[in-house]
Amino acid sequence: MKVDSYILVSHSIAIHESSLKGHRNKMIYSKHNRTNSETEVSMTAFLRWAGSKRQLLPTLTTYWSENFNTYHEPFLGSGSLLFSLSPNKAAGNDLNKDLIQMYEAVRDNPKETYREALDLEVTKEVYYATRGVDPRELDPIKRAARFIYLNRNCFNGIYRTNKSGKFNVPFSGKKTGSLPSYEIFKNASKQLRRTRLTSVDFEEAIINDIHENDFFYLDPPYISRDKRIFSEYGPECFTEDDMKRLIDCTDEINKRGAFFLLSFAECDRTMNNLSRFITKKVETRRVIASSSKKRRIENELLITNIDFDIKKTAGSDL
């Protein structure tokens, strides 16, 4: 397999990178025509998030077409692709309930949430005092502001809780905490109003919600033999069995005439189970959970059932 070129292909369709480029550029161009310059500049994710796909956005965005119906992101995290694409109709899900409640507050009260987050001073003392507050005692706006403040200022953008559910990530000690502009929050709020939010296991979010011509971006947590990585998303981690369930979901999406893009760290087992789909390999720099300095280059696999001939004819307006 060659890095950064499309190879394989299911259903014996040979796809050449050069022929894909033309279609992709057309799709992106039509999207850019639709959006205004304000959205172009400031529709972006506002969280730091372990496993965020921000660095892969130039590649990931090319898989989306305005001709798809609903955009789904069942492992939402910071939603870097959702906010970047800014689709008209979307569904966002994450098992992390605190994260989804925070998005609901930003959706409903962007100004108040932003103000509350801005009021929290970025110092070690204020960080630990804020971390020590029981979020259940706060109203939804203050709870969301606390979530955002801790996220902006914690070590490596990790969300980790102890067994009793208390956020326990240490202060970053660096100047990571400055909030993105209010413009970004306001635009995120607009996108969240077009997004149905849920907090359930990915299988439930996917299986009950597949409609023909929908698009699913699947970005599960990283599975590693290094057990420390598991702690990035709390005491529960993504297991080999979860991965099998996710692969079954991709089959179901495919069967029901919808589309998916799955991004996943390369490993032999993934390849064996998904080799019937179209695969591209891209390099990514991954932060190691235990260290802010160490980053390693790894291959990320992008696996999809989108064949660009289908993409060209999808939807009624083509």
Ligand X SMILES: C[S@@+](CC[C@H](N)C(=O)[O-])C[C@H]1O[C@@H](n2cnc3c(N)ncnc32)[C@H](O)[C@@H]1O
Residue 224 touches ligand X, criterion: CB under 6 A: no
Angle at 33 between CA 27 and CA 39, to 5 degrees: 105
- Give the C-alpha separation, 162 to 184, whole Å: 31
Site for ligand X in 102-131 (CB under 6 A): none
Number of residues that bind ligand X (CB under 6 A): 20
Among 53, 107, 152, 286, binds ligand X (CB under 6 A): 53
- Give the C-alpha separation, 119 to 135, whole Å: 17
Specify the residue, 80 or 189, whose C-beta has the smaller distance to ligand X. 80
Residue 156 touches ligand X, criterion: CB under 6 A: no
Tell the smallest beta-carbon distance from residue 317 to ligand X (Å).
29
* Residue 94: closest CA among 55, 50, 36, 149: 50
- Give the C-alpha separation, 70 to 213, whole Å: 8
Contact yes or no for 70/90 (Cβ under 8 A): yes
Residue 78 touches ligand X, criterion: CB under 6 A: yes
Residue 49 touches ligand X, criterion: CB under 6 A: yes
Return the range that interacts with ligand X (CB under 6 A); candidates 17-25, 71-79, 122-130, 175-183.
Answer: 71-79
Tell the smallest beta-carbon distance from residue 103 to ligand X (Å).
12
User: First CA to last CA across the chain, in angstroms?
Assistant: 34
- CA–CA distance from 280 to each of 85, 144, 241 (Å)? 20, 37, 24
Residue 71 touches ligand X, criterion: CB under 6 A: no
Specify the residue, 159 or 314, whose C-beta has the smaller distance to ligand X. 159
Specify the residue, 95 or 144, whose C-beta has the smaller distance to ligand X. 95
DSSP state of 282: E
Tell the smallest beta-carbon distance from residue 31 to ligand X (Å).
19
Site for ligand X in 233-262 (CB under 6 A): 233, 238, 242
Tell the smallest beta-carbon distance from residue 71 to ligand X (Å).
13
Residue 92 touches ligand X, criterion: CB under 6 A: no
Residue 95 touches ligand X, criterion: CB under 6 A: yes
* Residue 110: closest CA among 138, 144, 135: 144
- CA–CA distance from 58 to each of 80, 225, 280, 302 (Å)? 11, 29, 14, 13
Site residues for ligand X per CB under 6 A: 49, 51-53, 74-75, 77-78, 80, 94-96, 201-202, 219-221, 233, 238, 242
